[in-house]
Structure 1
Amino acid sequence: MKLRMGRILTGAAALAAAAVMTTGGSASAYPDPGFDWDHIFGINSDTPASGVRVYAEENGDYISVCDTAKDGYSAKVIVGEDGYSGDSYGMTASGGKGTCKTHKASDGARYNLEENNGVSLKYWAKGGDNYAYFKNDH
């Protein structure tokens, strides 16, 4: 009976290890913090970015930049606010295609965007600069 129980436990441990390895986190070009994004830039002909996508969620001030092309260039974004001199902050997704970098209000004061204020984004990877704007109204 001890031999059989040992085999069962060994098998269960192997299955658990396999499950952990197959469900391990992988980088995604579509970050999912648990909600639908209010704004996505760099995906249509109105904002023809090459190798970069920027996501914005106003509630919690989530901004994420993702690298969408295997081209050797890192995706970057600079986030600015109306009425402020200089840029609020910048981010780089430097791990290659499918990697993202995200900041949110709870990361610190500089990431806490003022409510009812305009937010400008300058983003790029390969190719020229791209610009987007939204009002942080909730």
Structure 2
Amino acid sequence: MKFRIGRILVGATALASAALAMTAGSASAAPSAAGWDHIFGPNTPGSSGVRVYVKEHGDIVKLCDTKKDGYSAELAVAEDGHAGDSYGMSVSTGAGTCKTHRASDGAKYDLDENNGVAFGFWAKGPQSSAFWENDH
């Protein structure tokens, strides 16, 4: 009987450890590179503390603060040739946190297909910029 209880305890401990590891992994707000069409920063010059993820299908834009430095991650989004169709995002809740907007959030977040989109992003340091063509 001792052998069975020992195996049960070892199995329960392994399951608890796996659950804890999965919980810790999913608590991180910063997404992995898989599944994103474009990723900008923090290696873009001047973009210290900011990473921007884009998924063209659904016009999903995710802004993440990547550095514990007391600065908010900021993003300005503008569609090429559409001065009124722009929006901004800010993440001020600390390193490892993100904010997301998608087309389903409203008209200003629904980026036109086959149109250029410009980003300006910054935290600590000068603004970085990126441009991409929203082709799907």
- Interval containing the TM-score (normalised by the shorter chain): 0.7 to 0.9
Contact 2:91 2:97 (8 Å CA) reproduced: yes
Instruction: Give the 5 Å matches for 1:1-138.
Output: 23=23, 26-30=27-31, 36-44=35-43, 46-86=44-84, 88-138=86-136
Gaps (5+ residues) in structure 2? Answer: 1-14
Do 1:52 and 1:65's aligned partners in 2 also have CA atoms closer than 8 Å? yes
Percent identity over the alignment is: 57
Give, in whole Å, the separation in 2 of the partners of 1:43 and 1:95.
Answer: 18
Q: Is the 8 A contact 2:85 2:108 kept in 1?
A: no
What SS class does the counterpart of residue 108 from structure 2 fall into?
helix
Deviation, 1:31, is 6.4
Tell me how far apart the structure 1 counterparts of residues 126 and 39 of structure 2 sit (CA, whole Å): 18
Superposed CA RMSD in Å reads: 2.4
CA deviations 1:34-72 (Å, max 9, x no partner) are x6100000133x545100001111100001110000000
- Structure 1 residues 116 and 103: CA distance shift in structure 2, 3 A: same
Structure holding more strand per residue: 2
Q: Distance in 1 between matches of 2:49 and 2:96?
A: 10
In the alignment, the residues of structure 2 paired with residue 128 and residue 48 of structure 1 have an alpha-carbon distance, to the nearest angstrom, of: 5
